[in-house]
Amino acid sequence: MSSSSSLSAYHEETIVAQITSLYTLLLKLSYFSPEGVEFPPAGANGHIINEELCRELHLVPEVISLMKKIPYTFDGYQKPLLGESRAFSYLDGQEIRNGRDPENTDTSGDLRMDFLKPWEIALTCWVQTDDGFSIILNTKSNIIQIIDASAENLNDFREESEAHHAPTYLQGIINDIYNLEHIYLPGGDIGIAHPESSEQVQIKRILIEDYGWGTEEFREEDWRREGEEICNRISDEAMEIWEEQKKKLMAEKPWKNVNGAYAQ
């Protein structure tokens, strides 16, 4: 395990502020709709959740409190938040149970209520069984560890996966979104434009040059109204280019099938 776990003690205010910033950025980019995100009500108490269930599951006060203080999305139960991963919504009792075993959430496997320690909380789980990852926050040691769906089954992720200083890890995600390295596309389910893809390069330029991203003059409402059409057009153009390149390659040389025979 990395020595990064010793960088600082856990502070709920820091984690809440960072998760809130992440959702705020995704709202600005119109990845989520304003009505699709529920922020905690003003005041010290936060969301109303099933605290009795939390206590039955022996969750520590730090985990219960964090569940009550962070935003949740209702913009589609399965809409990815990070890569092919979705956030848990702990406003729902079943999700509190699901969150104790992120490896088996959204699968046919039986939930293991003791998979996570009482002071650990799963922030995400993978949407597909073979892709995505779970982000596990340890409120005792202030670290984040990742369970990757594509990795071989781990005997104990605490011993076998890298430990990240939680605020540093979350700030890295925020920076990538703010700097448009990963662009969360507006509307529908197009998803994310990844770094150095033709879509990411074009959309980043448009957001900065035409809509003022990163400045106080960012035209958020215009992007909310126009962004989906722009991104759809860019995505369609990229697909057309790819199809043309594929046809050209197939015309220039035959391709072998899996049996070694040639096919045009």
Q: Are residues 80 and 17 in the same domain?
A: yes
Residue 82 has pLDDT above 80, yes or no: no
User: Residue 122 pairs with which residues in a beta bridge?
Assistant: 136
pLDDT at 110: 82
Parallel, antiparallel or unpaired: strands 85-87 and 133-138:
unpaired
pLDDT at 18: 97
Q: What is the CA radius of gyration of the chain?
A: 21
Which of 151, 177, 203 terminates a domain? The answer is 177
pTM of the predicted protein model: 0.85
Based on the fold, state whether residues 103 and 228 are members of the same structural domain: no
Residue 39 is assigned to a structural domain of this protein: yes
Alpha helices in the chain (DSSP H): 12-28, 51-56, 61-69, 93-98, 157-160, 166-178, 198-209, 220-252
Identify the residue with better confidence: 103 or 203: 203
pLDDT digits (tens, 9 = 90+) for 118-155: 999 999 987 765 667 889 999 999 999 998 876 666 66
* Cβ count within 10 A of residue 239: 11
Segment 173-181 mean pLDDT: 95
pLDDT at residue 17 greater than cutoff 60: yes
Tokens matching residue 105 = 């959430």
Distance CA 37, CA 34 (A): 6
Distance CA 161, CA 1 (A): 7
141 and 29 in a common domain: yes
- Judge if 199 and 125 occupy the same domain: no
* pLDDT bucket at 219, cuts 50 / 70 / 90: very high
- Please determine, for residue 94, whether its predicted confidence score (pLDDT) is greater than 80: yes
Tokens of 79: 């809409």
| Residue 207, domain extent | 180-252
Give residue 136's pLDDT: 95
Q: Which of 146, 177, 208 is the last residue of a domain?
A: 177
pLDDT at 264 over 80: no
